[in-house]
Amino acid sequence: MILVIFLSLIITPLGLVINKNYKDQSFVTLLIIPSIWVLLEIFRSIIFGGFPWLIAGYSQEGTIFNVIYPITGSYSVSFVICTISLIIALLLREKLSTSNIKNVFIMTICFTFLYFYSPTWSIDKEDFMKVSILQPNINIGTKYDDEKISLIKQKYINLISENSINKTIILPETAIPLIYERDKSFYQSMRSSEDINIISGVFHKNTDKNKIYNSIVVLNEDEQIYDKRHLVPFGEYTPIKIIFDYLSKKLNIPMSNLSHGDLKQKAFVVDNIIMHPLICYEIAYPQLINMGNDYSLIINVSNDAWFGDTFAPHQHLQIARLRALEAAHPVIRAANTGISAIINKNGLAVKNISLNTEGIINGEVYPSKGISPYMRFGDYPILMLIFSIMLVYCRSYRKYD
């Protein structure tokens, strides 16, 4: 509840700009409010480690605005729908000027052209990759009970032995809540042959640095490890310890003293396909995807059991679908309690397992090649637009002050 109130308070400064007496004196005045809205969303995505959840732009996934995501990203969609909402409100109150009605008409024509043109930003590989995603549906009480480790392991063994399995097997975040280096034999035991790829979330310890990481390991003929870069505040580490250390100890969350992985890490290579790894919450940060001009896909392992039976796992899946749209690349998502899915490059979940359900997804994924404009330029275009609007607005304000 405190988090919800805090997130809501971040948007309240907008009330200093708009009120019942607001009038669109110029086109730039009309756009200043969407600009402030997006800046506040970006601020919320950064402060205290960031919480880029439920931004306005996420609400339009699966609509006509899908064409915008791979070009300028979700914040741009926030800007567009905020502008549209403001225009509708002013029209209803008969306070939209004639000149701005003309500007809105021009913008509509431009968007219509973009929608029907709908460029393709990536091409699919002719050969697909066969994957099996395991969703064990283990609740938090069981997952972090040391006496239940053998039961958790048996559940994974049963899922593999009782179902037809593809060559690449993907397990969720921290599949077994033990240090990977102390339990390597279990992961190797799941490889029935040398050509099997095991991809799993693990707790990985770097003995040289004496640090523990939330990681993903790939086991085939080699061993590849990725360490999570963007940790969840309070859940995985304590920000500003001098202030929040007492709160962290009070919460007593298991494995909440993890270390951040290096910002620059190599993507995985599995059967000559590049895999861009993201762990849980990292899927909300598109800048963590270092897309190259090779056939690749995005892999996201997660443990949404913390959310319980709420809207959050559905929202988490929606964020993953938006990353697929922005990158124009498919996403493979393996979640402990759900919602696991195979998402194509158009943001459509072609296969999924329902929340709080045990099961396996056997599916085919077509890696894509190509770099969308958003993956190339990130949020810089929308930020440049916003600052240009604010600069013109400030100059106009001084002129008529």
Q: Is the C-alpha dihedral spanning 7, 13, 15, 18 positive or negative?
A: negative
The C-alpha atoms of residue 321 and residue 328 are separated, in whole angstroms, by 10
Mind spelling out the 3-state secondary structure of 231-273?
A: CCECCCECCCHHHHHHHHHHHCCCCCCCCCCCCCCCCEEECCE
Cβ contact 379:363 at 8 Å: no
Cα–Cα nearest to 235, from 306, 136, 319, 316: 306
Alpha-carbon distance values, 389 to 16, 98, 384 (Å): 18, 20, 9
Say whether 279 sits in a helix, a strand or coil. strand
Of the candidates 280, 282, 326, 345, the residue annotated as catalytic is 280
The C-alpha atoms of residue 302 and residue 316 are separated, in whole angstroms, by 9
Cα–Cα nearest to 204, from 180, 220, 228: 180
H or E element, residue 329: none
The C-alpha atoms of residue 156 and residue 187 are separated, in whole angstroms, by 10
Question: What are the beta bridge partners of residue 361?
Answer: 133
Q: Is 358 a catalytic residue?
A: no
Q: Is 82 a catalytic residue?
A: no
The burial of 196, by beta-carbon neighbours within 10 Å (0-12 exposed, 13-18 middle, 19 or more buried), is given as middle
Of the candidates 173, 236, 282, 326, the residue annotated as catalytic is 173
Of the candidates 143, 155, 228, 345, the residue annotated as catalytic is 228
Alpha-carbon distance values, 24 to 20, 78, 109, 325, 329 (Å): 12, 20, 21, 34, 40
Cα–Cα nearest to 284, from 38, 64, 54: 54
- Helix and strand totals (H; E) in the chain: 12, 14
Would you please indicate which residues are annotated as catalytic (active-site) residues? Answer: 173, 228, 280
